[in-house]
Amino acid sequence: MVFRSRLQGSAVDSDGAVRAIGKQQLGPRGPGVNGRTVRVDRNDMFGRSNFMVLAVVVGLLAACTPDTHVEGYHLDRERIDRIQPGITTQQQVGDILGSPSSVATFRENADTWYYISKQIESITELDAEVVGQQVVAVDFDEVGRVEKIREYGLKDAKDIRIASRTTPTQGAKLGFFEQLFGNGLLGVNQQ
């Protein structure tokens, strides 16, 4: 069986041989002249398509690689170790660790500074998952010196369920049309 090739003046038979039709010569790699048969290297043809398939697969795998980012300021161990309870002042903690993420206001005559960061891994925006967390709490005494340092990680975290209850309102429940007609929207006065 002979298939017509895109190359003008050539045909490909069923075993992959290119046969020249006519007296046209297309170059050293093209079909031969005057009916000579030239073999087409199928490795070149399939090598390109295999490369394209490989490139698509690598692209899809790279797209499925999770994206990891840190929210907050992650403190390294060296900075935390520079804080010495009883010696380091509040001003020095601010210089060493920077501004806190949050400041507790519930203690009387003293402060607690919280440095909070979390490491989040996600493939899409909708499936973000917290894979690491660091909370460093620095407690200060009445004179503004570090009293103690507490550290919490992801294993110390507790899930908090949000209450989905609603607050009931007084009065009757009105439907859409009762609300529409009852408010006088369509010119019906309510007595």
Q: Are 59 and 77 in the same domain? A: no
pTM: predicted TM-score of the whole model, two decimal places? 0.53
| Residues 165, 178: Cα–Cα separation, whole Å | 26
In angstroms, the Cα distances linking 130 to 69, 118, 127 are: 10, 7, 10
Task: Look up the domain containing 31 and give its range.
Answer: 2-63
pLDDT tens string 72-89: 888 999 999 999 999 999
pLDDT (0 to 100) of residue 3: 45
| Residues 26, 31: Cα–Cα separation, whole Å | 6
SS3 content of the chain, % helix, strand, coil (to 5): 25, 30, 45
Smallest Cα–Cα separation from 97: which of 145, 144, 136? 136
Domain assignment present for 168: no
pLDDT tens string 147-173: 999 999 988 888 888 877 777 777 677
pLDDT (0 to 100) of residue 148: 93
Q: Are 29 and 87 in the same domain? A: no
Domain assignment present for 183: no
